[in-house]
Amino acid sequence: MDRKHIEGKLRDGGYKLTPQRRAILEVLLEHRGRFVDAGEIYEKTRARHYGTNFSTVYRNLDILENLGIIHKTSIESGTAVYELIFHRPHHHHIICKKCGRTEIIDMCPLEQLIKAVEDKDFTLTGHKFELYGYCRDCSKNQ
Amino acid sequence: MDRKHIEGKLRDGGYKLTPQRRAILEVLLEHRGRFVDAGEIYEKTRARHYGTNFSTVYRNLDILENLGIIHKTSIESGTAVYELIFHRPHHHHIICKKCGRTEIIDMCPLEQLIKAVEDKDFTLTGHKFELYGYCRDCSKNQ
DNA sequence: CTTCGTGCAAAAAATTTGCATCCGT
DNA sequence: ACGGATGCAAATTTTTTGCACGAAG
């Protein structure tokens, strides 16, 4: 997913290309393969486009998430982090607790999982595997 | 992990058994097998012990987490959720996005994972499998 | 020239902290 | 009595929202 591709998605969605939006995208592109939080995106965006507002950042992160351009999650800190989706096939991550750098795990444990992990050069300290959905009761009275 | 067991852990840690703490524990015990957020714990605790403060709840959730009595995580909403650890062996969860009810998955995908899932009566809508640790660079200048 | 986007300011939500007092052990 | 625990109030942190103005298509 490169800049042109992303800008196309925005246009298709009826969104305009403002300098702020471009700056946010630049920042995300620069941080491919790494989760960053809203605060960091804000700081870096503001360095590119002076005066960009925090609300603008949050609003755009929302839009980008809805368009499937970025992925939002929350790791251990509790605050939300974002990264560009640059690898369409479904996958998971190894996440550095210190810098947020991620490595892709190309496969999903739901199908097979062994250890595509060994060669990753990460010191593992923990992991999370959670399934989301609706329990029987909640499926009923949806 | 029952009440007596938990109270023992608290004593061993040098913590006192205050009525507020007991109330919080009662609430958590009542919600075994379900993630609840701080707000809900606060409301329910305050129903048991009138006047309990929100700070008290947060402070105790911290303590309980550090003692390994509860498990804190953040699911999709972004706000932290907690549940009693009542099943010591390492495991993961299926989480209802609506009510927070959880089901245990007794095994960890890191070792083997097939589908201990089929019989769970959950409508799956998504899942998260994330490994945490330190990348090579961050391990170095730790 | 219309619609969407932005900045600003303020509010809301989630969590943390300092401090004086209180209470379990 | 001692040391941890609580309530309160206030501060922080993270995120959201209303509104008037400005700019992209």
pLDDT at B79: 85
Q: Can you list the alpha helix ranges (DSSP code H) found in chain A?
A: 3-12, 19-30, 38-48, 54-66, 136-140
DSSP reduced 3-state for A36 = strand
CB of A92 closer than 8 Å to CB of A108: yes
In terms of domains, do B127 and B107 share one?
Answer: yes
CB pairs under 8 A between A and B: 164
In terms of domains, do B70 and B119 share one?
Answer: no
| Cβ pair A132:B109 closer than 8 A | no
pLDDT at A114: 40
In terms of domains, do A53 and A74 share one?
Answer: yes
Q: Is B32 a residue whose pLDDT tops 90?
A: no
pLDDT at A39: 94
Ranges of residues in chain A with a pLDDT under 70 are 1, 75-78, 87-90, 92-127, 130-142
DSSP string, chain B: --HHHHHHHHHHTT----HHHHHHHHHHHHTTTB-EEHHHHHHHHHHHSTT--HHHHHHHHHHHHHTTSEEEEE-SSSSEEEEE----S--EEEEETTT-BEEEE-S-TTT--S-TTGGG-EEEEEEEEEEEEEEHHHHHT-
Give the closest of B117, B131, B138 to A131, CB-based. B117
Burial of residue A34 (number of CB atoms within 10 Å: 0-12, 13-18, 19+)? buried
Phi, psi of A29 (to 5 degrees): -65, -40
pLDDT digits (tens, 9 = 90+) for B6-29: 999 999 999 999 999 999 999 999
Could you tell me whether strands A70-74 and A36-37 are parallel, antiparallel, or unpaired per DSSP bridges?
unpaired
Residue A18's nearest nucleotide, by CA–C1', is D24
In terms of domains, do A71 and A100 share one?
Answer: no
In terms of domains, do B60 and B6 share one?
Answer: yes
* Residue type (1 letter), B23: A
Please tell me the total count of domains within chain A. 2
Q: Tell me, yes or no, if the pTM score tops 0.95.
A: no
Range of the domain at A141: 90-142
In terms of domains, do B110 and B41 share one?
Answer: no
Tell me which of B66, B87, B108 is where a domain ends: B87
The CATH number for B114's domain is 3.30.1490.190
Closest CA to A46 of A137, A38, A85: A38
Q: Is the CB of B15 under 7 A from strand C?
A: no
Tell me which of B58, B87, B116 is where a domain ends: B87
pLDDT at B33: 79
Q: Give how far A130 is from chain B: nearest CA, Å.
A: 5
| Cβ pair A135:B76 closer than 8 A | no
Structure-token match 């409301």, residue found: B43
The CATH number for A51's domain is 1.10.10.10
